[in-house]
Structure 1
Amino acid sequence: MERKKLGTDLSRIQRHSDTKINGLEAKLTKLTETISTQKEEIKALRTEKKALDQKQTRAKESLQSTRKELRSAVVWEATKNGTYTREARELFRCLLQAGCSGARVADAIKACGKTFGVVIKRLPSSRTVFRARDEGGQYGIMQIGREITMCEGFGESSDGTTNRKVNLESRHLHYLAPTYLPGVDDDDKSTWKPQSRFGVVETALNHQAETQFQGTKAFAENVAATYSNSPLARRDGRTMEINDYPRKIEFLGSDHANDAKLKVEKVGDWREDVITSDIGEEVLQLVESGEFVGSFSTLREEDINLAYQQATEEIRPQAGEVQVDKTTARKLVAKVIGQAKLDSMTEAERHLLLGVTFAGCGAHKDMNAFKYGVVKMMAGWAARGQPGPVLLANKANTTTIQLSDDTNTTAAKAAIDSSSRGGVKLTSLAGALFNHSDDKKGYQDKHVNFMGTRKRDLYGIQHGGHFPDTSNTRFQSHSYAAAELVSFIHDYVDLLETTRDSKDSPGFNHMESNIHKGLLDVGTVAEMAAMGLLGDSVSWRFLAIIRGNGKVRNALDPDIAELYRRLPAFCDAIAENPGILLEGEDSPGFDWSKITLDGRPWIDRHLVATIRTLARELPDLLDCISDIFSGAAQGWRVFTSEFTPGGPFDLLTPKQRKRLYIPATNDENEGGLGSIRVWQRYHPNATAFGFSNQKRYERNNTSNFIKKLCTQEDDIYVMRLVRKINSSGENIRFREALVEEMNRKAGEKRKKDEEAAMKRQLELERLTSVGLAMDRDEINNMTVKQLDDQLKIHRKILMDEVLRRVLQKDLPTKVFKLSAVLAAVSRNQP
């Protein structure tokens, strides 16, 4: 029993122990897992702590670096090793471009630094600023040289003017060129765009064709030398020689002056001379290499031998002459051979190879056509046997006419003949009064305030504006002035009369009186109405088309050629039916394409409405319209020769037409010459060289060219080049040459005057010895030479007023001369 109980107790104790042991084991396992987890956590915490320690270390280092950079950032280092950096020089040029004076660039940089909390350690002098400007311009010359070597062909446009009695010549180049945009392959010609590159505005001794031509050659030489000597050219593996200019030039653009056309001939001769030598040199190389085939097969071997013989004869020294060097001899041989090759070509082949196309300015064409129209309109009065517009004589002539009892007197006739009249005369006077080129003269703001108020109150026109600038040379300023005066004719009369009555001593001055008289004259108003209609129908629209909404069009565009070709017929059609311009839109068969050049409604509807209202008071209006459009048609035919079918533009190959960009106007050069005149008002001591450098950098995308292609090596080259140019004394030499030219002209003038005076004296002595003939029978038996002598005696010795105003061409035959002598005898009979 006891044993059984003991066994039960042992079993219970065993079970209790197992349970307790299992519990302890489970607890131990749990504690082991907890310890393991905590170890992992401790490890992770240690890793995190280490990362935080490293982050803290880096943050401290970054903080120190940032503080160091901040300390350096508040100080602008404009120089490196004593030389202003490229970035600094770029900043100087940008400030000049923004209009800052060179002497104030340092002040501007200092003020900006103070505003931004930046310390400026070194500021540039005005001399440094201007050197940076000139360096930018010389980079532009280098850019032009590189682009000429890359392009297949280009054109040059030019124009000239005078400023302060010194001739100025402007030159632009036109070709396909890279854009220098980031990420664009500039060697890929498919990315190139038509560009107009500012070349130069430079002083010249005169505006003769030879001087212009020599200016082009000097510019070409400068471009070739600047690029070829640069590190950029060495990296490109290219050079430019001066003859590359005539090799690639394919057109010249300018106005229609004779000197411009003569320059085209000179450039054409230069191009022919260079290409002739090129052809000869190529033939020589083929012959010397044993190859004489292909395109030169038209030249026979005996032709080559003959060319050698001719060239040898040319270079063989005569007695006492120096032997010609081998290089010169080879060039002469090449030229003779090249000429032989050219002589074997057809005229079309020669033109294709050598031709230089002339491209006239479209704006000048329109100006000249408008002038042709005005001249014919003014001559139309006499042709119709009508008196024409009222005389608008100047003050002196008016006094002479008024003091003459009879307008048939010699003095009165001379005053009338030398006075002007008509629409253009009135618009000129109105421009001088209402918007004088000198802003201290004329009505100026009085006109703007009075007419601005009238237009707003009576017509709902919010923009009054200034009167068209006829005091300066502006395209179509006279047609705009005519339109303005006709549109608001009664208001301008009121302006003059109100001004007259508001004076302390009421009354018109002479100019006001002339304008008032012209505004009330039906003939003058009729001419101005015709001028305004020609402007709205043709000229204003034509200029808008060829200028392409702010960007000058390519004259080779097909629609431009078509426009030029239909202009004469368009003007002729209106000349034949002038009343079509006064018809309303509700008229049967009304068609805008027959009335306006672009087929669109009137630009100035108020003008046309006013003319329709005034038409019944202007009996000669239709005749004036017909004459001015007929004359304009004649002008368009004269000045559009390059656009005639089969003309110079039609002879260009498709390849040339695709690559050439011929500006339809000469606005770039007109603008360049206008810009330098304005620029010199604010920079009176500046030179054309400085102006050209600044504008070349601004207009030619030179900044991007420098950033993309140029290195520090190029910077050093350009810096040295500018210093060399500035120390060359070029400006001094030009001033000396200008004075020498003035003295030469003065000397020639004095010499001619002395020779003329001597000739006059000898002629008077001879005429005195001939003697005055008063016997009519004797005069009737005189020869033509004797009659001429008698006419000279009456004109030069007796000072006959009538004969002094008669030209030699007015007395073409003996009958006329005899009649004139007999009439003079009657007038001078004692």
Structure 2
Amino acid sequence: MREDHVRGDAELVLARIGTVNRELRGDLRLCHRRIRTLEKLCARFPKRLADRVERAKIRPVTFRLKKKGIYTSQARALAGMLIRSGCSQSKVGGLVQKVGAAFGILVPERMSGRTVQRSVLERKIAYDIQLGYELKRSPSFTVSGNATTDRHVNMEARFMIVHAPRRYGDTQNPSPTLVPKNRFLAVDSSVDHTSETQLQGWQGKLHNLTVAYSASPFARRNQNVLDVLECVVKLKGAGGDHAADQLKTVQLLIAWKREMTCLLLARTFLGSGATPSPQMSQLILRSTAASVDAVGGGGCWAIMTSQARMAVYVDHCNRAVEELGKELYEALPSEERRPLDLFLRLGCAMHKDLNSVKGGAAAMSTTWEELELTPPILLANKDNASTLRDVDPDALAAASLASPEGLSPAELRALEASTRGAVKLVSLAGAIFNNKDDKKGQHDTYVYYFQHFLKRHGVRFPDTSNTRYQSYCAAAAELLVNREYYLTFLEFVRDRKQSPGLTNIEQNVYNGLQDPATLTELAVLALYAEAVTHPYMRVARIHQNGLKLGPLHEKLKAHVKRLIEDPDLLLAPEATYKTGSLDGREWERPKVFTAIQRAASGLPHLRDILIGFLKGALRTWDKFTVEFAAGGAIDQASEAELDAAYILPTNDHNEGALGAYRVWRRSNPNGTLAYFNALKAFESDDTEDFVRTYLCHEEDEKHLRAAARALDESGHETKRRQQLIEHALAAAKEKAREREEKEAREREEKARLRQIPLVFAARELAKLKKAELQDQLDVYKKVYGDSTVPPKSRMANKPEKLAALLEAIERNEPGKLDRSTD
């Protein structure tokens, strides 16, 4: 039995071994077959590789701009870069395909102009999200703005300075130090240029930024919300020019910030949790009770609709919150209130210097009269020059000294309408040599002429025709240094005409360049630029905190005083930049001093006129640097407060944005403001890093596309234009109504005056009261139409009114006045 059992086991093992052996043989055959197949593949690989290479040479590599039917973020970024480089929307798609073909890459998708436009708008949406993020993190910020008109529409540029990382995506520095960054907000149109409208513009701009940030997936991921209230309390200052409307706008911003600060204090005190705090519960009870009392008690409250109740309740609740905020603010100690109140204003340094030159020029023109010196020759326009042609030049000079004897009324009017001096001369020279209208003036002929004789290439005359900053002083220096060449150039212009001769404007410049008094004023302008303007601009135009330039302005005014006391610092043959220049550095244009020294013998009054100019400039500097006065807000601010209220010294960024818009409009007359602002946002290189660092998720890209699409389809440009014309129509209607009311009042007044009996006896006139005398005067002024009757404000007492009335009677009713006293 045991042997049978062992034999059976052995047979089973042998059967299994046989089965395994067969399987192994089958696997071995498969392996041999695979080996032969691979050997054949390896043998064919060189030929197949060569075939693929040949096919690749014939058929280029395909690059897809779309993924799942949507243009990728890289494709959109590429389109934006091409737009920024100057490519038009409609040409971007074709350009990408052609560039790809040049590198042997097939780009099957052709991006449409509308897609390109939306990719640019997406960048602006991302830029707004970035600004919202920076506002959220920044401990403070300041604003600046400027305005101009473009095609009879008021345009306003806005910037703000926030404290932001030096760069985004720096993995080596996860917590970077925040530095001041000047951020472009927008160029917008406005219905008018009032301070109230400017404030509304700032409010709307901050609201848009907070909405753009809070609605983004990025903010939701960070569980952040940004509101206007949170932003406004961080506002620490404003920059701009020195116009009255700008000063009022600053006051309105301060009041708005105070209001928002009170609301924030109230909100913090009341709490913001899901469960009302005890303070909130008390305020709700008080507001409810006040609402019920306001409508006449519980009975009236009960019959009101829920909407009416809610409106009354919300109104009283808001009032209660405002009152609470004011109480909390007033209760704060001064050391806690100061950082909340901090708001500094800075005027543009460019405007300070510009106005100093204007003030100096005005003082210079009066100095001739004060010293009883012969002033610069008259530079009259064509019509006035024709009227004054037969008048002796000495008589014109005498007339300018307030002695109009010997002139007819027409000649006197022509004299009063005409101007003279260096400022007028360089203005006329700019109109000839570099006119803002390319079809007027000499332009390239001027450039080629001076290139031929002075060997200077592409140099144009200072742009006084467009009133560029410092252009008048630069033009004065240019005319002085190359005066002989300008005279010969004008002669060249005269002689090459078909009918040789100089036009009136050319004759004025030609005469002015040979007039000693006018040359004296040119020398003063040039000297002031070398000694003050250029050194001042070298410092003021540096990217720095302009609030810290108080010592510079004190140094400047002290230097001007020193020049007034000792003009030889500029006029002496041994004068040097080390003592004559504000910063002690080399002159901007040393040839100016050579030209002035060469002409000094023919300019006997240069010293006196220079002193007069400097005195006027100093008075203007005192007026336009009042923000740096001792004891003022800037003077009393600490270093940390000045850093918190960082403001650039000049307003060049706003001026530049407005100028860029005007230039852009010439080549894009139908372009929208939103698109221009999006293009302007491309100038911020930080946004690309910000998008790559924080807006790199799919939900971010989807949000940017949706927001740009919504903006593009919103009809924003149509709404903007509609708002402008609706306001203009409403303003016209209101003015028409006011004019009609005024005319009706005037008709009623005339009807009343016609009923007043006129008095011609002097003894009866003396008995009339002041009001009765005024009625008599009004009859002659409003009924008779006698415009020479003085206004009421100039006749304060009865004798003055009586004297004016007697004269009016003599003029309008000759022979009727009875002066007898019996």
Give the TM-score taking structure 2 as reference length. Answer: 0.82
Alignment match of 1:248 (pick from 230, 234, 240): 234
- Structure 1 stretch displaced more, 273-282 or 329-338: 329-338
Q: Which amino acid aligns with 2:216?
A: S
1:306–1:237 distance in 2 versus 1, CA, 3 Å: closer
Structure 1 residue 765: Cα displacement:
6.6
| 1:412 has 2:411 as partner | yes
Residue in 1 that maps onto 2:386: 399
| 1:481 has 2:480 as partner | no
Q: Which amino acid aligns with 1:433?
A: I
Structure 1 residue 745: Cα displacement:
2.8
1:771–1:593 distance in 2 versus 1, CA, 3 Å: farther
Kindly provide the CA deviation profile for residues 436-492 of structure 1, in whole angstroms up to 9, marking residues without a partner as x. 111111111122122333333xxxxx3561111112131111111122122222222
Structure 1 residue 563: Cα displacement:
0.2
Residue in 2 that maps onto 1:169: 156
CA contact (8 A) 1:791 1:821 kept: yes
Residue in 1 that maps onto 2:525: 531
Residue in 2 that maps onto 1:499: 493
Structure 1 residue 100: Cα displacement:
0.7
Q: Which amino acid aligns with 1:687?
A: T
Residue in 2 that maps onto 1:595: 580
Q: Within 2, Cα distance between the matches of 1:776 and 1:326?
A: 70
Q: Within 2, Cα distance between the matches of 1:420 and 1:787?
A: 42
| 1:127 has 2:124 as partner | no
Residue in 2 that maps onto 1:16: none
Q: How do 1:367-516 and structure 2 match up within 5 A?
A: 367-402=354-389, 408-456=407-455, 462-463=456-457, 465-516=459-510
Structure 1 residue 266: Cα displacement:
1.9
Structure 1 residue 170: Cα displacement:
1.0
| 1:624 has 2:609 as partner | yes
| 1:575 has 2:569 as partner | no
Kindly provide the CA deviation profile for residues 229-262 of structure 1, in whole angstroms up to 9, marking residues without a partner as x. 1111122222211222202111111111122222
Q: How do 1:670-709 and structure 2 match up within 5 A?
A: 670-699=655-684, 701-709=686-694
CA contact (8 A) 1:547 1:665 kept: yes
Residue in 1 that maps onto 2:632: 647
Q: Which amino acid aligns with 2:207?
A: E
Q: How do 1:270-349 and structure 2 match up within 5 A?
A: 270-285=256-271, 313=290, 317-319=294-296, 322-323=309-310, 332-345=319-332, 349=336
Residue in 2 that maps onto 1:19: none
SS of corresponding position for 2:465 = coil
CA contact (8 A) 1:580 1:595 kept: yes
Q: Which amino acid aligns with 1:224?
A: T
Q: Within 2, Cα distance between the matches of 1:787 and 1:381?
A: 45
Residue in 2 that maps onto 1:76: 63
Q: Which amino acid aligns with 2:515?
A: D
Alignment match of 2:252 (pick from 266, 279, 288): 266
CA contact (8 A) 1:284 1:334 kept: no
Residue in 1 that maps onto 2:620: 635
1:398–1:53 distance in 2 versus 1, CA, 3 Å: same
CA contact (8 A) 2:169 2:690 kept: no
Residue in 1 that maps onto 2:80: 93
Alignment match of 1:221 (pick from 207, 218, 231): 207
Q: Within 2, Cα distance between the matches of 1:64 and 1:70?
A: 11
CA contact (8 A) 1:555 1:664 kept: yes
1:785–1:455 distance in 2 versus 1, CA, 3 Å: farther
Structure 1 residue 415: Cα displacement:
2.1
CA contact (8 A) 2:428 2:505 kept: yes
Structure 1 residue 716: Cα displacement:
0.6
Give the TM-score taking structure 1 as reference length. Answer: 0.81
CA contact (8 A) 2:545 2:643 kept: no
1:799–1:578 distance in 2 versus 1, CA, 3 Å: farther
Alignment match of 2:698 (pick from 693, 705, 712): 712
| 1:211 has 2:188 as partner | no
1:680–1:800 distance in 2 versus 1, CA, 3 Å: same
CA contact (8 A) 2:349 2:540 kept: yes
| 1:731 has 2:708 as partner | no
- Structure 1 stretch displaced more, 526-535 or 177-186: 177-186
Residue in 2 that maps onto 1:522: 516
Q: Within 2, Cα distance between the matches of 1:794 and 1:215?
A: 49
Structure 1 residue 314: Cα displacement:
7.7
Q: Which amino acid aligns with 1:166?
A: V
Q: Return 5+ residue gaps in structure 1 as ranges.
A: 1-48, 293-300, 457-461
Structure 1 residue 785: Cα displacement:
6.8
- Structure 1 stretch displaced more, 430-439 or 809-818: 809-818
Residue in 2 that maps onto 1:234: 220
Residue in 1 that maps onto 2:11: none
SS of corresponding position for 1:471 = helix
SS of corresponding position for 2:90 = helix
Structure 1 residue 334: Cα displacement:
3.8
Q: Which amino acid aligns with 1:514?
A: N
| 1:364 has 2:358 as partner | no
SS of corresponding position for 1:156 = strand
CA contact (8 A) 2:494 2:502 kept: yes
| Percent of matched pairs sharing the same residue | 31
Kindly provide the CA deviation profile for residues 504-540 of structure 1, in whole angstroms up to 9, marking residues without a partner as x. 1122212112222222222222222211211111112
- Structure 1 stretch displaced more, 210-219 or 819-828: 819-828
SS of corresponding position for 2:145 = strand
Residue in 2 that maps onto 1:8: none
Q: CA RMSD in A?
A: 4.0
Kindly provide the CA deviation profile for residues 17-67 of structure 1, in whole angstroms up to 9, marking residues without a partner as x. xxxxxxxxxxxxxxxxxxxxxxxxxxxxxxxx9xx9999799979969996
Q: Which amino acid aligns with 2:210?
A: A
SS of corresponding position for 1:467 = coil
Structure 1 residue 735: Cα displacement:
1.6
1:766–1:702 distance in 2 versus 1, CA, 3 Å: same
Q: Which amino acid aligns with 1:467?
A: F
SS of corresponding position for 1:650 = helix
Q: Within 2, Cα distance between the matches of 1:360 and 1:350?
A: 25
Q: Within 2, Cα distance between the matches of 1:58 and 1:283?
A: 83
Structure 1 residue 663: Cα displacement:
0.9
1:427–1:87 distance in 2 versus 1, CA, 3 Å: same
Q: Return 5+ residue gaps in structure 2 as ranges.
A: 1-34, 301-307, 393-404, 816-822
Q: Within 1, Cα distance between the matches of 2:751 and 2:343?
A: 54
SS of corresponding position for 2:146 = strand
Q: Within 2, Cα distance between the matches of 1:789 and 1:687?
A: 58
Structure 1 residue 643: Cα displacement:
1.9
Residue in 2 that maps onto 1:604: 589
Q: Which amino acid aligns with 2:640?
A: K
Q: Within 2, Cα distance between the matches of 1:493 and 1:780?
A: 68
CA contact (8 A) 1:554 1:661 kept: yes
- Structure 1 stretch displaced more, 181-190 or 434-443: 181-190
Structure 1 residue 95: Cα displacement:
0.6
CA contact (8 A) 1:451 1:464 kept: no
- Structure 1 stretch displaced more, 447-456 or 169-178: 447-456
1:694–1:336 distance in 2 versus 1, CA, 3 Å: same
CA contact (8 A) 2:287 2:316 kept: no
CA contact (8 A) 1:228 1:240 kept: yes
1:668–1:386 distance in 2 versus 1, CA, 3 Å: same
Structure 1 residue 799: Cα displacement:
8.0
